[in-house]
Amino acid sequence: NAGVTQTPKFRVLKTGQSMTLLCAQDMNHEYMYWYRQDPGMGLRLIHYSVGEGTTAKGEVPDGYNVSRLKKQNFLLGLESAAPSQTSVYFCASSLTSNIQYFGAGTRLSVL
């Protein structure tokens, strides 16, 4: 039981490049979330999903897209990366809206 696994752990992009971050959970959780964490700040919600095939916008969705084609996976895409998207990205999942379990994070730098 691995919990929540994020891939990759680190990535460096050039401005304008695209990439996809993968989040996988093996706990059969319905809800999944993508957050970003910037220095000196708490986490801010980018997008979330309340079940397979559903997605919704969070607090800071601009510049990101997501997909939840399978219940266990939640993908976060950056179509044209910008330096402002340099951040640490966390994925989380929860069975209900109660306790969220977090992955180890992906550190992304956009040059």
Partner 1 sequence: GIQVEQSPPDLILQEGANSTLRCNFSDSVNNLQWFHQNPWGQLINLFYIPSGTKQNGRLSATTVATERYSLLYISSSQTTDSGVYFCAVEDGGSNYKLTFGKGTLLTVNP
Q: Which residues, numbered 24-53, are part of the site for partner 1 (CB under 8 A)?
A: 31, 33, 40-45, 48, 50
What type of residue sits at position 92?
A
CA pair distance 37, 58, nearest whole angstrom: 14
CA pair distance 76, 73, nearest whole angstrom: 10
Structure tokens at 111: 């040059």
Is residue 102 involved in binding partner 1 (CB under 8 A)?
yes
Strands 19-25 and 31-37: unpaired
Binding mask 48-77 for partner 1 (x = CB under 8 A): x-x-----x-xx------------------
As beta bridge partners, residue 37 has: 43, 88
Is residue 104 involved in binding partner 1 (CB under 8 A)?
yes
Contact 102, 92 (CB under 8 A): yes
Is residue 1 involved in binding partner 1 (CB under 8 A)?
no
Nearest to partner 1 of 10, 14 (CB atom): 10
Nearest to partner 1 of 57, 70 (CB atom): 57
Q: Contact residues for partner 1 (CB under 8 A)?
A: 31, 33, 40-45, 48, 50, 56, 58-59, 88, 90, 92, 94, 97-102, 104-105
